[in-house]
Amino acid sequence: MKFQSIAGPAGALQVLVEKTVAETVAVAVICHPHPLHGGTLTNKVVHQLAKTFNEMGAVTVRFNFRGVGESEGEYDEGRGELEDLVAVARWAGERWQGLPLWLAGFSFGGFIALKGAQLLEPRRLVTVAPAVNHFPAESLHLPGLDWLVIQGDSDDIVPAVQVNNWLESLKYQPQFVLIEGASHFFHGRLNALRQALIDAF
């Protein structure tokens, strides 16, 4: 893995860029889980998202939020982390001009990706076990977005019933895939996560 550093709003941000196919169809930016609970860009769900997007022809950009790994700054309760995402997405947009943006995130990262989607208007959005306890009550503005939600039915951190109730309250409905036997971190179910992503797109 070859890490690099880019300018972020609170100092340098550590990023990891990966590409596996010759013809690139999109640039996918992926957000990791909660910084205060061990979340980093090397998280295995984030890694699986990146690997699958690579298979689908996207160049992937994973990054550490401020205060994680080699990224400068400190945790900012989601506000600064959203700024980090916007900075990374804009950097990626300049580097791979003309390519559609795909946004993805896992858990807390799903919350940040969803907030970012309202600013960045990606072609696709993938939120895995999105941390619905973080979401504000106000309505989302995501019309016309190709949005996929993947959830494990045995998740004890972000319960499936909570995610389902939240989705039912939304005006714009995403594709929703419930993976049987999957816990929050998809132990032993990462291949099912991969397949859900491929089948949806």
Domains recognised in the chain with CATH numbers: 3-200 (3.40.50.1820)
pLDDT given at position 103: 98
Cβ(96)–Cβ(28) below 8 Å:
no
pLDDT tens-digit series, residues 87-144: 999 999 999 999 999 999 999 999 999 999 999 999 999 999 999 877 765 567 776 7
Q: Cα(4)–Cα(9) distance, rounded to whole angstroms?
A: 16
To 5 degrees, how large is the angle CA 189–CA 25–CA 150? 25
pLDDT tens-digit series, residues 146-166: 999 999 999 999 999 999 999
pLDDT given at position 82: 97
pLDDT given at position 139: 62
pLDDT given at position 148: 97
Q: Cα(126)–Cα(198) distance, rounded to whole angstroms?
A: 12
Confidence of residue 69 (pLDDT cuts 50, 70, 90): very high
Token digits for 133? Answer: 């306890």
Q: Cα(150)–Cα(128) distance, rounded to whole angstroms?
A: 5
Dihedral sign (CA 158, 164, 167, 168)? negative
Quote the crossing angle between the two packed helices 190-200 and 44-55, to the nearest 10°: 40
Confidence of residue 48 (pLDDT cuts 50, 70, 90): very high
pLDDT given at position 172: 83
* Sheet (strand 146-152) strand order: 3-8, 11-18, 58-63, 26-31, 101-106, 124-128, 146-152, 175-179
Q: What's the burial of 197, exposed, middle or buried (CB within 10 Å: 0-12/13-18/19+)? A: buried
pLDDT given at position 32: 98
Q: Cα(189)–Cα(35) distance, rounded to whole angstroms?
A: 23
Average pLDDT value for residue range 174-180: 97
Beta-strand ranges (E) seen in the chain are 3-8, 11-18, 26-31, 58-63, 101-106, 124-128, 146-152, 175-179
Higher local confidence (pLDDT), 7 or 169: 7
Q: For residue 12, give the 3-state DSSP assignment.
A: strand
pLDDT given at position 169: 85
What global pTM score does this model have?
0.96
pLDDT given at position 134: 72
pLDDT tens-digit series, residues 2-47: 899 999 999 999 999 999 888 899 999 999 999 999 999 999 999 9
